[in-house]
Amino acid sequence: MSAGEIAVDFVYESDQCFVIRDIHPKAKVHLLAIPKAHAVTFNDITKENATIMAEIGLAIAAATKQSNISETGYRVIVNNGEDGGQEVEHLHFHILGGERLDKMV
């Protein structure tokens, strides 16, 4: 993706992050909010780079509004580390919605 190998559908972009549609959706609407600065896990957020979280929050708000799920509801998930199910070694946030979601656990 970063080198342009996979075609992506951008929903939102700012200087610090972007939101794309997941190529293997797990819900009617499945978006990924991704910071541009490299961070492997949520644990890599520090005081020095904490603005990433504010930018991700703004991106999620804008993308869910644009995708018409902001009012009906959505779920934001971060898979953190191997035991958390993280498969890609770059911090990203899954946004799922567009339909009634089952309970998590």
Q: Which position among 30, 38, 90, 92 bears the catalytic label?
A: 92
- Is 92 catalytic? The answer is yes
Strand-by-strand arrangement of the 10-13 sheet: 10-13, 17-21, 29-35, 93-97, 74-77
Amino acid, single-letter form, for residue 3: A
Contacts of 20 (CB under 8 A, 6+ apart): 8, 9, 10, 11, 31, 32, 34
d(CA 100, CA 79): 21
Instruction: For residue 94, give the H/E element and its range.
Output: strand 93-97
Residues tagged active-site: 92
